[in-house]
Structure 1
Amino acid sequence: MATHRRPKPQRNAYGTMLTVTATAAVALSAQSASADPLPDPNKKGVKAQVDRLYEEATQATEKYSGAKEKAGTLQKEVEVLQDTAARKQEALNELRNRIGGIAADQYRSGGLAPSMQLLLSSDPDAYLDQATLADQLGARDVSDLQKFQVQQREVQQQRTQAATKLTELRDTRAELGRKKTEIQGKLAKAQQLLNTLSAKERAKITQEEDRANRDSARADLGNEASASSRGAAAFAAAKSRVGMPYVWGASGPGSFDCSGLTSWAFKQAGVSLPRTSQDQANAGTRINSLGDLRPGDLIIMRTDLSHVGFYAGNGQILHSPKPGAQVRYESIARSGMPFMWGVRI
């Protein structure tokens, strides 16, 4: 059995690692945190409460990442619609100027011809349908006027679509703000709870994190081959990130949340994946049994599909697990998260 080893990671304490995530959250979300009381430490252990807050923060992070991806898509769509409307408006202006010149000539010669009356009609389509009028208009006049009406409608349609997308974009950005506040509040409360512990208790938590990192360095991955070249390439990229810190909303290359790691790794393999774990759960071929997974397959965790990592072989997952932790290998059985299914890309 082959044993995977990696360079010794930087020392990572459960509390001190929060300088990357929760410490910033304390500064940014103090008001939010103070308005929402901390869980009662007497009801259950502080570490259990902290772990729960971290789980809730990672769940909210996936929703934040989904909203962020949606906002980026909407922004591009708005830009395309606005650019198209602007180009159509330029063509419409040129046509209007040409028709306006004809109207001016006709007015100077004694009045507006039927073609210009058509342009000013409240119902140009019905007016143009009149057979008697069609007989009086030249072929080019009819063509220009029809083109004018079509372009007018197209410009209005593009502007209406852009306005609708802009409204959706504003709503999505507001959702981003709400999720950001929620995440920062939970991380701030977790840090406040950690601050209530004695030095001995904090040292014990630090030791547990150090043990998890040492176990990762000694992880026995077996010698199973990947089921696809794309999965193998993505897994190789992810392995190069072992030891990098978890940061909510981050997608590499120096820090990651869970779906940020998997989407970044597949991007290195030339594959575009959706940004969230929920969307990645349906991105490829579903593998329902743990025994059928191969290294490089995605592994979907939690009943709400809010966690994702790579199956690493021999019952191990390679993932970015939670705030305060590093990208690492862990036993799936000991991860504390229920397995839902795998995904082969």
Structure 2
Amino acid sequence: MASHARPKQRSSTGSAAARTAATIAIAGAASATMLTESSTAEPRLTAAQAQARVDRLYEEAETATEAYNGARERADTARAAIEHLQDELARRTGRVNATRDRLGTIATAQYRSGGIDPTVQLALDSTPAEYLERAQFIDQLGNRASAALRTLAAQRRELTQVRHEADSELSTLRGAQDELRVHKRTVEDKLKAAQAILDRLTAAERAAVEASGPTLTSRAARGVSGGGRTALSGGSRTAGDVPAPSARAAQAVSFAYGALGLPYVWGATGPSSYDCSGLTQAAWRSAGVSLPRTTYTQINAGTRVSRSQLQPGDLVFFYSGVSHVGLYIGNGQMIHAAHPGAPVRIAPIDEMPFAGATRPA
């Protein structure tokens, strides 16, 4: 008789346990994911918090902008020096070649008269380094070749020196260009971060941010008319009515008034846009005074004055790193290029941490 084995049945208990374990694992993973997403999500900012962050990012961007301006100034200086040295190299190379031609003429004459002087042959055939090592032979010559050889040795030394200077300036240029790239990226990253914060705000919150603080045009600046005069709140007197201490200072202030409303563009020096130090440099240039390019150097370009001694035309600096500058116009007001997105405007000097002031000569 055939035996009939009963088929093995799956344990419903084990299957249920496996399903339960899987469910718990999935739920745990989901919970972990939710917790991770919750912990890494950008917290919603109030208008005040957004204001503080944007202000900080603009300050950091301006610090990088001034570093960029300094690097660009060094690059421009090095580039100009290289052009000058290239011209000098061409002139000195021409002189060396002319001296060698004279030696060739002497050698030809000596050959026709019975042979080439061995010292002349040395100058014509040796490399500059080999020749200079044997330059002591020059003193042993007593004919016309002697003077030409001494001249050639001196010219070669001078040519080598000019080449060294050109190499040094080229190294400076390359270093400045590397700095430019780094600072450019920093500025762009800071400005993008600031814009991202503003973009996350509602229209009402953004309006609140724009209604206060240094990130927006001040109430005084909003009152700028086509004539460039701005009435101060709380009185009828205008900042422009405060007399400047000199004709040059008056011209610098007048120039700054004429720039009101122009856009801020980092690295710009005019005439259609400015950054902060570009505006003050251009204002004083219009008065015949040459200022250096950056805030760090402008603060030392004149006589330091205290806050209580401020007069129209003075340069006023802000933040501990001296990364921002404006042109004082009187009554506690200045004209400055604030930051991207804001035009050149009038603003109170109290809206930023005061770092010092200087009066250009």
TM-score bracket relative to the smaller structure: 0.7 to 0.9
Q: What do the CA deviations read for 1:135-189 (whole angstroms, capped 9, x no partner)?
A: xx22x32221111111111111111110111011011011001100110011111
Farther off after superposition, 113-122 or 225-234: 113-122
Q: Quote the Cα distance in structure 1 between the aligned partners of 2:206 and 2:273.
A: 24
**Equivalent residues of 2:75, 2:177 under 8 A apart:** yes
Deviation, 1:82, is: 1.0
Residue 27 of structure 2 is matched in structure 1 by none
Residue 218 of structure 1 is matched in structure 2 by 231
Q: What's the RMSD between the two structures over aligned residues? A: 2.3
| Structure 1 unmatched runs, 5+ | 1-36
Q: Quote the Cα distance in structure 1 between the aligned partners of 2:86 and 2:43.
A: 53
SS state of the match for residue 226, structure 1?
coil
Cα distance, 1:127–1:235 mapped onto 2, change above 3 Å: same
Deviation, 1:282, is: 0.4
**Equivalent residues of 2:262, 2:274 under 8 A apart:** yes
Residue 332 of structure 1 is matched in structure 2 by 349
Q: Quote the Cα distance in structure 1 between the aligned partners of 2:41 and 2:251.
A: 44
Residue 19 of structure 1 is matched in structure 2 by none
Cα distance, 1:122–1:111 mapped onto 2, change above 3 Å: farther
> Which of the numbers 285, 292, 295 marks the counterpart of 2:303?
285
Residue 360 of structure 2 is matched in structure 1 by 344
Deviation, 1:228, is: 2.7
Cα distance, 1:71–1:41 mapped onto 2, change above 3 Å: farther
Deviation, 1:329, is: 1.4
Residue 247 of structure 1 is matched in structure 2 by 265
> Which of the numbers 99, 113, 120 marks the counterpart of 2:117?
113
Q: Quote the Cα distance in structure 1 between the aligned partners of 2:42 and 2:296.
A: 28
Q: Quote the Cα distance in structure 2 between the aligned partners of 1:39 and 1:171.
A: 38
Residues 94-113 of structure 1 mapped to structure 2, 5 A cutoff: 94-107=98-111, 109-113=113-117
- The one-letter amino acid of 2:162's match is Q
- The one-letter amino acid of 1:301's match is F
**Equivalent residues of 1:38, 1:189 under 8 A apart:** no
Residue 126 of structure 1 is matched in structure 2 by 136
Deviation, 1:248, is: 0.9
Q: Are 2:188 and 1:178 equivalent residues in the alignment?
A: no
Deviation, 1:341, is: 2.7
Deviation, 1:273, is: 0.9
Cα distance, 1:264–1:52 mapped onto 2, change above 3 Å: same
Deviation, 1:117, is: 5.0
Deviation, 1:260, is: 0.6
**Equivalent residues of 2:75, 2:176 under 8 A apart:** yes
Cα distance, 1:70–1:122 mapped onto 2, change above 3 Å: closer
Deviation, 1:311, is: 1.1
Q: Are 2:253 and 1:235 equivalent residues in the alignment?
A: yes
Q: Are 2:90 and 1:86 equivalent residues in the alignment?
A: yes
Residue 25 of structure 2 is matched in structure 1 by none
Farther off after superposition, 120-129 or 183-192: 120-129
Cα distance, 1:163–1:47 mapped onto 2, change above 3 Å: same
> Percent identity of the aligned residues?
41
Q: What do the CA deviations read for 1:184-217 (whole angstroms, capped 9, x no partner)?
A: 0111111111111112212333444365332563
- The one-letter amino acid of 1:316's match is Q
Q: Quote the Cα distance in structure 1 between the aligned partners of 2:70 and 2:158.
A: 32
Residue 259 of structure 1 is matched in structure 2 by 277
SS state of the match for residue 265, structure 2?
coil
Q: Quote the Cα distance in structure 2 between the aligned partners of 1:163 and 1:211.
A: 50
Deviation, 1:118, is: 5.7
Cα distance, 1:146–1:207 mapped onto 2, change above 3 Å: same
SS state of the match for residue 243, structure 2?
coil
* Matched pairs, number: 301
Q: Quote the Cα distance in structure 2 between the aligned partners of 1:265 and 1:273.
A: 10
Q: Quote the Cα distance in structure 2 between the aligned partners of 1:229 and 1:39.
A: 54
Residue 173 of structure 2 is matched in structure 1 by 169
Q: What do the CA deviations read for 1:76-122 (whole angstroms, capped 9, x no partner)?
A: 00110111011110111111122123224434544332541563556
SS state of the match for residue 342, structure 1?
strand
**Equivalent residues of 2:253, 2:313 under 8 A apart:** yes
Farther off after superposition, 289-298 or 56-65: 289-298
SS state of the match for residue 165, structure 1?
helix
Residues 7-46 of structure 1 mapped to structure 2, 5 A cutoff: 41=44, 45-46=49-50
- The one-letter amino acid of 1:218's match is A
Residue 31 of structure 1 is matched in structure 2 by none
**Equivalent residues of 1:259, 1:307 under 8 A apart:** yes
Q: What do the CA deviations read for 1:2-50 (whole angstroms, capped 9, x no partner)?
A: xxxxxxxxxxxxxxxxxxxxxxxxxxxxxxxxxxx99865597122111
TM-score where L is the length of structure 2:
0.77
Residue 196 of structure 2 is matched in structure 1 by 192
